Chain A
Amino acid sequence: MRQPTPDRYTRSIVLLGDFNPKIYQPAWFAAENLIGKQEAEGAKIGVIHPDVSIFSVDWARIEILRERFLVETTQQLIDKPLRDLVLGTFSILRHTPIRVLGINTSMHFRVASDEIYHNAGHRLAPKDIWEGVLDSPGLTRIMMRESVRKDGKRGYIDVRIEPSAEVMPGLFITVNDHYDCDASQEVIGCDKVLTILKDDWEVATARAEEIIYTLLKRVTSGDCSK
């Protein structure tokens, strides 16, 4: 069965560790054959600085701070290349200390009516408990955490639902698949991160989409505008 089409889609990979932002320039990625030469030449530079490096190519945005490396795409067509970009980068820079990996999937969905939109809030947070406390309570955000991962890895899965700020009336659902690769501050490489990305990417991304579509269907009773 075809799933509802999101109005907005973002997938990102976030790494927390110790990075040298100045390395990560389009020319470096092209020299290492991680992106094409024409892509590098056409990259839109936000800033290249010792503390922050931000640029985008036509299918991804890359943002590196000293403690955080982020790549994201709004193009679902370019799903695995996003992963490959990270795999390639840290196969080369494999001594980069990385402690945490996040695989994040976010979608905005327009719903067919205000009624469905409000009912979604009522289903997620029934309002009877608020009776006499607030006159007109409305849900602004709900987050649930799977504290113990079923795959046995350290970390958690956070799921957040809130009104969409992009489409009205609409819902925003995001899944943060968080892997703690090494809790200590003395980690000296990124083999664990690379292994997870290689071995778990498809499971993680499929799981995120399954969570999002299941919740969307449940809170809207299958009534989505698309």
Chain B
Amino acid sequence: MIRGLSSTIAQDDTLQNQLVAQFERQYPSERMKAFLGQDAPKGTTARAVDENNPSEDRQPPLFRVTSNVTEQMAIALQRWEGMVTTIKEDTFVARLKDLSTDIAEEEVEMTMRDVSDDDKDLVQIGAIFYWSIGYETTATRQVKRTSIIKFRRLPAWSAHELNTIKKRAAEAAMAIGWGAQDEVAKAG
């Protein structure tokens, strides 16, 4: 079973082929089965616990080497959540909330240069972003101060979600006596 899967995975990919061969030599088949979830009957308590938190017990032996995530680490010193209120040519103004304290929101002007190219299109009025500063440990174990701005990416509201929101809003309006019974009926 494992060999069949491995050979399928590896087709047309020399690097993958080498990796599979490397790990098949390095790890016993029982461990590979464990990673692929083929080692225990479904629904047992122990298995459920392990599946839900596989970080240590089930080190995926086969593919983790291709990830760079485990080699880099960043610890946050301070985190904010912001909302864009004004967009200028090279900067944008945002309201920032410090996520680690109860300090009131503050307004700041931030430069577009700090936003990744991928996120520049997301800079719109009302857009939510996360800003963190902290320390990053690189793959070569160097530690450096870092600052990351990441804009929130959520899909547009679906019709189902919009209907749910409208219904809840109408119910809330009715509950506080704003006479929105008609709205409830419409959203229903």
> How distant is the Cα of A87 from the Cα of B157 in the complex, in angstroms?
12
A91-B155, A104-B53 in contact; A74/B66 too (CB < 8 A)?
A: no
Instruction: Decide: B54 and A8 in contact? CB cutoff 8 A.
Output: no
Distance in angstroms between the alpha carbons of A176 and B49 in the assembled complex = 9
Whether A47 contacts B52 in the complex (CB less than 8 A), given A33-B155, A36-B119, A92-B155, comes out as: no
In the assembled complex, the Cα of A37 lies from the Cα of B143 at a distance in Å of 28
**Chain B 141-165 interface mask (CB, 8 Å, partner A; 1/0):** 0000010101011110010110000
A68 vs B47: C-alpha distance when bound (angstroms): 12
Contacts A67-B37, A77-B132, A84-B153 given; indicate if A47 touches B63 (C-beta within 8 A).
yes
Q: Top 7 A-B pairs ranked by shortest CB distance?
A: A36-B118, A46-B63, A77-B132, A176-B53, A102-B52, A75-B74, A56-B67
Q: Which residues of B contact A104 (CB under 8 A)?
A: 52-53, 55
The reply on A34 being an interface residue by CB < 8 A is yes
Q: Which residues of B contact A (CB under 8 A)?
A: 5, 8-9, 16, 36-37, 48-49, 51-56, 60, 62-64, 66-70, 72-76, 79, 81, 116-119, 130, 132-136, 146, 148, 150, 152-155, 158, 160-161
B134 pairs with A76, CB closer than 8 A: yes
Please state if A6 and B75 are interface contacts (CB–CB under 8 Å): yes
A77 touches B79 (CB 8 A): yes
Partner of A47, one of B9, B69, B134: B9
Within the complex, the shortest CB–CB distance from B15 to chain A, in Å, comes to 10
Say yes or no: B53 contacts A174, CB within 8 Å.
yes
Q: How far is the CA of A51 from the CA of B155 in the complex (A)?
A: 26
Which listed residue, B5, B53, B153, touches A33 by the CB 8 Å rule? B153
Chain A's interface size range is 35 or more
- A110 contacts chain B at the CB level, 8 A cutoff: no
Q: How far, in Å, is B14 (CB) from chain A's closest CB?
A: 14
Known: A46-B66, A77-B133, A78-B150. 6 other contacts (CB 8 A): A9-B75, A38-B116, A59-B150, A68-B54, A74-B73, A102-B53
- For the complex formed, measure the closest distance between the CB of A216 and the CB atoms of chain B, giving whole angstroms: 14
Are A60 and B69 in contact, with the CB atoms below 8 A?
A: yes
* Among A10-18, A118-126, A132-140, the stretch in contact with B: A10-18
Nearest Cβ in chain B — how far from A94, in angstroms? 8
Do B53 and A158 have beta carbons less than 8 Å apart? yes
A137–B126 alpha-carbon span in the complex (Å): 59
Query: Are B55 and A81 interface neighbours, CB within 8 A?
Result: no
Q: A45 → chain B, closest Cβ, in Å?
A: 7
Give the distance in Å from the alpha carbon of A58 to the alpha carbon of B70 in the complex: 10
Give A58 to B136 CA distance when docked, in angstroms: 13
Query: Can you list 30 A-B contacts (CB < 8 A)?
Result: A8-B73, A34-B155, A47-B9, A47-B16, A49-B9, A51-B36, A52-B36, A52-B63, A54-B66, A56-B68, A67-B51, A68-B51, A70-B54, A73-B69, A75-B69, A77-B134, A78-B130, A78-B132, A79-B132, A80-B130, A84-B153, A88-B155, A91-B154, A91-B161, A92-B155, A104-B52, A104-B53, A106-B55, A176-B49, A178-B49
- The answer to whether A88 and B68 have CB atoms under 8 Å apart is no
In the complex, the answer to whether B146 meets A106 with C-beta atoms within 8 Å is no
A100 to B48, Cβ gap below 8 A?
Answer: yes
Give the residue of B52, B133, B153 whose beta carbon is less than 8 angstroms from that of A16. B52
Quick one: given A35-B153, A51-B5, are A68 and B56 in contact (CB under 8 Å)?
no
